[in-house]
Amino acid sequence: MNLFRRVCIPFFRYLPKIATPKLVALSLLTSHLVFYSKRVNASTTPNPEVSNNGFNKYEKFSDQIYEQIHQTHDIIIVVDPDRFVDYFFDELLQVIDQVAKVQKLRSKRPFKILTLNEPITEKLIMDFEQKYKIIIEQDTIMLLKNKYIQRIYNFNANDYFENRILLINYFKKINKLTQKKFNEFEQILSYLPSTETAVLVYADKTSPQYKNVQTRFCIMQQNDNYQKNEKLHWILIDKAVANKLGIQNIQNGQLFFLQKSSKLNNFQSSITINNKKLLITPADTLSGKSVEKVMEDLTQAYNDVNVFSNRSFGKSSTKYSIVLELDLNKIPKHEETRLVKAFGELKKYLKETHPELLNKTEFIYLNKTPKDNHLGYQVYVRDDEKYGDRLRQHQETNMDIMRKLSVFNEFGQAHSYVYRLDEQIQVSKDSLISFFMAVKNGYANEYFQSSEQPKYKKYSIKLVGKTFQKEVMESKKDYAIFQYSKNCHACGEYGQYYENLALESYKQENPTMIFGRMNNDHNKPSCIQDFPYTPVFMVCKKGIQNYPYVYRNQKFTPDLLKSFFSITNAINLIPEEQYQKLQAERVLYMQNQ
């Protein structure tokens, strides 16, 4: 979910995310970032003479230096390092040194580290916005510049929690497929798992659009959901290699994906390499399209030849998801093949009889241990569209429409919108068709996962919808909130760590943050964004409570959660009157362009 918030200069902005491959587990994974709690204003001036934070070994940023190197180098610009406490200085230096070492090993491209030794003032913000089309904010840690991409990326505190190895991923190289590298490419394809997909794009070096194709492919690689393995992305620049792969009538910017022939794609194949049958599927071109549209085209082309969706290309908007969840360590291979075949037959049936329904349905394959199940696999359908009803419910003013969007059943229980096939029913084409149509027509019963919630003592303040406005939105302090639900196993597991932090705050004589908890099943305050999932950890900053910080991370540790609350509590905001002045200047500047 995209995170919109207002920090330093309170305005809406979109925070792009970048895929995070498991390349190097830097010390970022366990580091803690803390900002000095000082208010930034226009009168603040830097004093580099007294600064001794370890960053002095790097060259200072200037417009002249940047102009000379931005088209040939990968660049990191550390912004105002004097803001950070001492122990984060050392951590950041170690991280940058690690990034530099990795880049030296994997790429011949020159790598430059600069420091911007100026405090973040209104003048600095305006200068960067005008010159480089990038907003520096109070929570900006670094600015990143990839040689292939013209825009500068703002690496901020939010990225610290979401993309801890983003610094490695952002500068990954582009593999160029030539005659010389064809043997290496063959070896990679020989060991390609059936669940992975390699992506090719053809870029004609003689075309004036060559650099444009290269840039767009690099941006595409950094899509949030895109493949994590950089060895699976190749730019094909030699037509002779295309002929070896059996690709004819190739166009500049055209995309292809390659995968192993298997039950997942109905054993289709188009070429044999090193005795391995491979399927090469053409997709659309990169030319004249947004990255989002390109991903949609890739998704459609992939879904047309495969049983299950490849979520690495992004998740399309769907009405239903039908899921095969299985533990490959518990079921034999032939049983997996039987289940996949049944799903393939269901998809073929929908394509022939209900093509519109198929376009609104995503087929998902999950290799994980099913709960409440002894078979080693389970099949369920999720109503994806209903997940959005909770948010829509609080945007409506018409009572009749609100009742229709109700997220509670007749027993006052929150809907799960999940329907599971009875494990007593044999999975087959006919049983899947019958089950899926029952869900579609409203005849199936919802499934609620059983879970015992661990007991622990609570020190946070209980919040309810009726008191949320007064308690949180009108609070004179920052407010931490833990949203949980009754049937959420993770809530019970993580909630105890949250309550420990609440206890620490409770013991303080004058705490700067209040800790509260709210049952997400029964409380839907309309003054903030609703979340159709739990757990949710968030902070409503005083003055901008409508735009909370939300903890988002694939990993959870007590230290990471503690750091999240510490950082968000310590980040400074520009006062409202300074923001209004800045907004007026920005509008005037845009009018004069």
Q: DSSP letters along 360-382, please?
A: TEEEEEEESPPSS-SSSEEEEEE
Scanning the structure block, which residue is given the tokens 């993309």? 163
Contact present, 81 and 115 (Cβ < 8 Å): yes
Contact between residue 169 and residue 233 where contact means Cβ atoms under 8 Å apart:
no
0.95 surpassed by pTM: no
Query: What's the CA gap between 7 and 254, in Å, rounded?
Result: 40
Closest-CA residue to 325 (of 421, 400, 247): 421
Angle subtended at Cα 432 by Cα 322 and Cα 355, rounded to the nearest 5 degrees: 65
State how far the Cα of 588 lies from the Cα of 591, in Å rounded to an integer: 5
Distance in angstroms (rounded) separating the CA atoms of residues 324 and 379: 5
- What's the CA gap between 492 and 80, in Å, rounded? 40
Buried b vs exposed e over 219-230: b needs ≥16 C-beta within 10 Å?
A: bbbbbbebbeeb
Burial group, residue 284, by CB count within 10 angstroms (0-12, 13-18, 19+):
middle
| CB-neighbour burial class of residue 317 (10 A; exposed 0-12, middle 13-18, buried 19+) | exposed
* Full pLDDT tens readout for the chain, 593 residues: 222 232 332 222 222 322 222 222 222 222 333 443 333 333 333 444 444 456 778 889 999 999 999 888 889 998 888 777 666 677 777 888 888 888 887 777 788 999 888 877 788 888 888 888 888 877 788 899 988 887 888 888 777 666 666 777 788 777 889 899 988 888 888 888 888 888 899 988 888 888 888 888 887 777 655 556 667 888 888 888 888 888 888 888 899 989 899 898 888 988 888 888 999 988 888 877 777 788 888 888 888 899 998 766 655 678 898 999 998 888 899 999 999 999 999 999 999 999 999 989 999 998 887 777 778 899 999 888 775 554 455 444 455 555 555 555 555 556 678 899 998 899 999 999 999 999 999 888 888 766 544 456 788 888 887 788 888 988 888 999 999 887 777 887 888 889 989 988 888 888 889 999 998 877 777 777 777 778 889 998 887 787 788 887 666 788 888 888 888 887 766 555 666 676 677 677 666 66
Supply 387's token pair. 């997940």
> 10 Å Cβ neighbour count for 24?
16
The closest of 518, 503, 409, 421 to 471, measured between CA atoms, is 518
Which tokens go with 312? 């690495």
